[in-house]
Chains A and B, each alone.
Chain A
Amino acid sequence: MASGKAVDAVYNIKPPPAATKLRELYYQAHFIHSHAAHFYALAAPDFVVGPDAPAAERNILGLIGKVGLEVGKEVIRQRAISQDIQIIIGGRATHPVWNLPGGVAKALTKEEREKVRPMVVEQLGFAEFGLKLFADVVMGNKAYVDLIIGDGYELVTNYMGLVDDQNKVNFFDGKVRVVDTEGNELFKYTEPEYMEYIAEHVEPYTYLKFPYLKKMGWDGFKEGKGTSIYQAAPLARLNAAEGMATPKAQAEFEKMYETLGGKPSHKLLAAHWARLIEIVYSAERMIELVEDDEILDPNVRVMPSTTPSEGVGIIEAPRGTLTHHYWTDENGIVTKANLIVGTTNNNAPISMAVKKAAQTFIKKGGEVTDGLLNMVEMAFRLFDPCFSCATHSLPGQMPLTVEIKNKDGETIETVSR
């Protein structure tokens, strides 16, 4: 979707309203699939099965064992609905090639809309189920609440997210808003302006770069007031906005910040809560889009009339602000590209969060169990379960090796994944 917007900009064209709405409808369904996979398959096992459960059970199958097959089946069925909505609109759920410069390749038919209509309503029910599960299983358990509001998973940084003109969270369009550690707006930028605000730093020990706020300069891995480090992704998006554009998501937004003790919240594990609120927003927004009659307009493409040259497209990817910048020749063949992808934004915060969790949970003289190491990994997993998106053609693997050293610098234990 970011590349779709970038090629619109390359050709200097604006897609017809129906095309923009179809892209957004597709994208909201994509968000639900991605967030549902992240939460239910990759994060929930830590909570529902338990952070220090045996590794062989701490997964989606263990989760099903715990919550019951019926719930497991329902999650699978709902994720299938999100994927099917994308297939109905754009032909495929991964790599939607129907997205073209100036619009989309296929309009939505009346029959297709009727098919999608009940599906989006079901998705809202599923979204609300997620919040209930979180309230019961996570917030209803004092040990987990302590984990969420404790110091082990706290990081004080700036926050970034795309917002509409009311400063409400928007995944698809608007301006990028950045707030400081206290929630004050630092700046807002449009797509072509990104390079004035964001810069990337290189370290020799990783293929992944470290983006930071350019005006403040790279000042290392420091948290707290005045830092140039920012976070993107669910909690950051909510921190960077003033609210949600749909009613149910807004109500839960208020509840979350009340529980966490104010906004912005630096409690990293609350990202999972924010993720579930975003699912509600996506579902509510899908209903609005499906009910909008303009979505059936057969006019879904504008033909380019200018010579293509350069363009930037920005959206919110599930795991953070996604920027695509292309330069092309006169045939529209890309000659150069610059991408800052979702998780890359969070590279410095992830490194700092993992370090902090390790320092909090691994105690001098205490036994270093697999469960403790998993609690360190949870600091990573709350940002991104896979990491392949952030490294592109570069190595897509992020092996986590924890070396535990004693005070003399001798390695006493090494655990790697």
Chain B
Amino acid sequence: MKLKVGIYWGAACGGCDVAILDTHEKLLDIAAKMDIYLWPIALDFKYDDVKKMEDGYLDAAIYSGAIRNSENEEIAILLRKKSKVMIALGACAHLGGIPGLANFYTRDEMLKRIYIDSESTINEEGVIPLESWNVKEGELDLPRFYNTVKTLDQVVDVEYYIPGCPPVPLQIYSALSLIWDDMLPPVGSVIGAGDKALCESCPRVKEEKTISEFKRIQQVLPDPEKCFLEQGLVCLGAATRSGCGARCIKSGVPCRGCYGPLDDVPDLGIKMLSAIASVLEPKEEKEIDDVLDTIVDPLRTFHRFSMPASILRRKKE
């Protein structure tokens, strides 16, 4: 029997949906194995169709995007109710992703910046969008814009995670095939990725060099064969899960950590700090601090994709 599936996006860029399309000829295979009951980017079904389903009707819901507003959350709750299995697709749903960087600001700061202070905006009356607005034809509602961006599993129970920004398309396919082959691992597992650190499958040569200063990629022309970290460029490969095929590294840029932390590592940033400590030249605390100080904006560098999932979650107000 064909599987019943719903695909949805919350606070997403659409790249995860594109990654599903990028399974290319395997799309026909997916269509043969699954009946898709909701997929806003590609199919013409509506929320009401989902609301009418019995609970647990869908075999799986695939949710990309973070939770940034009340609509993202409501649909997550609805799909959770209607699905046997909930899958977080991509870094945003998994860890908060790029939208999660908004947690360095408050809701009010953002609304003021966008609608009042933005240089190209002319808004003398200081209008800010409202959740409810009365016009002569009736009331218009907007979803509530939250103060804090959340991961999918911070609002509903999630069985599986497919990591990446976006996930590698073939990894999505292999993760989906686990459903129809009935081979799903224990609940809570990351699927469609490896279980070792990216460094272990990285083609770059490591020589156990130590460094005394960090630089950013625009300041150096890195050697194309050698480990980035050993050249003083922050590369998150040591703390990041493998599975992407080191695609950024092969195109000449360090890993920024989109596949997220390894199992049993609650916080990618903390893990990364210890990996960095191991390549530092100085061993005295004060000198170590001086070298670490050369990392520009460490918090956003380590938590580029994972601020909402980190132990910090958001900037203190």
Contact = CB atoms under 8 A, between A and B. Distances in A.
Interface of A: 11, 37, 41-42, 45, 55-56, 58-61, 69, 72-73, 76-77, 79-80, 83, 87, 90-95, 97-98, 100-102, 104-106, 194-195, 198-207, 209, 211, 214, 218, 301, 303-304, 325, 331-333, 338, 340, 374, 385-386, 388-389, 393-397, 399, 403, 405, 409, 411, 415-417
Contacts of A389: 13-14
**B: contact size bracket:** 35 or more
A298 to B, nearest CB: 11
Interface string B239-252: 00000000110111
Interface string B164-176: 0110000000000
Interface in B214-264: 216-219, 221, 224, 247-248, 250-253, 256
A87 B168 CA distance: 12
Given A41-B21, A201-B122, A338-B120, A304 B218 contact: yes
Given A59-B44, A388-B12, A395-B71, A195 B119 contact: yes
Contact of B120 (A102, A303, A340): A340
B153 to A, nearest CB: 19
Contacts of A396: 9-12, 65, 68, 72
B195 to A, nearest CB: 22
Contacts, number: 199
B256 A97 contact: yes
B118 interface: yes
B220 to A, nearest CB: 8
Nearest to A409: B137
A198 to B, nearest CB: 6
Nearest to B71: A397
Interface in B144-169: 145, 149, 165-166
Given A11-B218, A80-B24, A388-B12, 17 more contacts: A60-B43, A61-B31, A72-B28, A92-B248, A94-B18, A94-B22, A94-B166, A105-B251, A105-B252, A201-B122, A204-B128, A211-B120, A304-B218, A333-B296, A333-B297, A396-B11, A397-B71
Interface string B108-133: 00100011001111110001111001
Contacts of A100: 217-218, 253
Interface of B: 9-15, 17-19, 21-22, 24-25, 27-28, 31, 40-48, 65, 68-69, 71-72, 99, 102, 110, 114-115, 118-123, 127-130, 133, 135-138, 140, 142-143, 145, 149, 165-166, 216-219, 221, 224, 247-248, 250-253, 256, 296-297
Which of B120, B123, B133, B166 has the most C-beta atoms of chain A within 10 angstroms of its own C-beta? B120
B10 to A, nearest CB: 7
A416 B46 contact: yes
Contacts of B130: 204-205
A394 to B, nearest CB: 7
Contacts of A218: 122
Contacts of B140: 205
A238 B27 CA distance: 33
26 contacts: A45-B44, A55-B45, A77-B24, A80-B24, A87-B247, A91-B250, A91-B253, A92-B247, A95-B165, A98-B253, A105-B217, A106-B251, A195-B119, A200-B120, A201-B122, A202-B128, A202-B129, A205-B142, A206-B142, A386-B41, A393-B11, A395-B72, A395-B142, A396-B11, A399-B47, A416-B47
Given A98-B253, A202-B128, A207 B145 contact: yes
Contact of B221 (A301, A332, A386, A405): A301
